[in-house]
Structure 1
Amino acid sequence: MRLLTRSERLVTPWRNGGGQTSEIAVAPASANADFDWRLSIARIDGDGDFSAYPGVDRLLMPLSAGGLELLVDGVRQSIPRFETIPFAGETDVSAVGVTAPSQDLNVMVRREFGAASLVCEVVERSRLVSSLTGEVTAVIALDGDLRVNGERFDSEDAVLSDGSETIEVEGIGRIAIARVRPVSRDGD
């Protein structure tokens, strides 16, 4: 289990230059665009297109108070704060109606590698998050006064587990739970 603090992350421009990304974790660790999966927080400063990621399934969760307005293949969608929208990396997606900088949590998984899930949960005193063998589980602090396994757990900090471990989050606040499951292959 690893604690990944917000202060340790590098911020890089999007592939298309339309925003910035703070990468939480990626596998393999040395991957650039050829990742199996990636977890990040993006900053959107204005209206514009998302970068294309053919062959990648994406999950996006707005973190800012107003949520996020997207144009997905020409259809306008309002995504409330802490709700998740799935879309394929080759889908034509644009942010629209952006009047103030906005942040969103992203999970991207190469389709041939596996699948992912992303949910927001409320912590009221204590929450145990278990991960299964072979599954990568990330818990991301969203807001509130939280501790993880006894350590301070600030907003946008993350804990990553890639084994059958249990992460204990204590306090009052909200967390996001992201899970990446490799595709099981016959004969493996």
Structure 2
Amino acid sequence: MEIIRFSDIRPERWRNGGGVTREIARHPSNGEWDWRVSIAEVGSAGEFSAFPGMERVISVIDGELLVLTVDGAEHAMEKYRPFRFSGDSASSSALPTGDIRDLNVIARTGAYKGYLSILELSKKRAHPVFGGQLAILLEGKAAVSDGGEGTSEAIELGRYDAVVGSDQNNPEILGRGFVAIVSIDPVEETV
């Protein structure tokens, strides 16, 4: 079972210098990547970095509201409501209610498709994390255990910690709060 601790991730400046991001995962792990999952801190209005040839899914995960302008059209983004747009688009933000944090899923168009869902956790029914998925604790209190027959002792998760999914002994998250489920699927070529 693999857990990525948010507290261990070093913050990096955005491509355009306008903010800070923490990269949770990428593929491949070195060099030019085909997909990336990150959490960004947005403390001032301004331009978003362009990601040509990529598709983005973004969701506010801390704070109330982000007004995202994409190719001239305004989109009011409330907490936990994912929004998909092209990384080729000119995009900028306004913060009418103050600073926010957002979760970003960016995938190379035509090679991968990224999905983002926000779910409420249950103390009674564990949520499995399958291969090709990341589960990120957004708020609340939760623990993860190995979902196999010989279940291991549950490990507490901190805010923004990520659990890497597996198709063998699926990790299972149990608790109260909200979790982001990120899925990255390869795009199958049609002949």
> TM-score, length-normalised on structure 2?
0.89
Question: 1:124 matched to which residue of 2?
Answer: 122
Instruction: Give the partner amino acid of 1:52.
Output: A
- Given candidates 155, 168, 186, the residue that maps to 1:151 is 155
- Given candidates 34, 53, 56, the residue that maps to 1:55 is 53
Please list the CA deviations of residues 133-181 of structure 1 after superposition, one character each: whole Å capped at 9, or x if unmatched: xxx2000000111111111111100011254552211111100000000
Please list, as runs of the form range in 1=range in 2, the aligned pairs for 1:11-160 lying within 5 A after superposition: 11-31=11-31, 34-98=32-96, 100-125=98-123, 126-132=125-131, 136-149=132-145, 150-160=154-164
Gaps in structure 1 of 5+ consecutive residues:
none
Question: 1:183 matched to which residue of 2?
Answer: 187
1:64 positional shift: 1.8
Q: Is the 2:23–2:39 contact (alpha carbons within 8 Å) kept by the matching residues of 1?
A: yes
Runs of 4+ displaced beyond 3 Å: 162-165
Question: 2:148 matched to which residue of 1?
Answer: none
**CA–CA distance in structure 1, aligned partners of residues 190 and 169 of structure 2:** 26
Please give the root-mean-square deviation of Cα atoms over the aligned residues, in Å.
Answer: 1.7
The range that moved more, 62-71 or 93-102, is 93-102
Question: 1:10 matched to which residue of 2?
Answer: 10
**CA–CA distance in structure 1, aligned partners of residues 94 and 84 of structure 2:** 17
Gaps in structure 2 of 5+ consecutive residues:
146-153
**CA–CA distance in structure 2, aligned partners of residues 163 and 39 of structure 1:** 20
CA 1:36–1:124 in 2, change beyond 3 Å: closer, same or farther? Answer: same
Number of residue pairs the alignment of both structures matches = 182
Q: How many percent of aligned residue pairs carry the same amino acid? A: 30
Q: Is the 1:131–1:165 contact (alpha carbons within 8 Å) kept by the matching residues of 2?
A: no
> TM-score, length-normalised on structure 1?
0.90
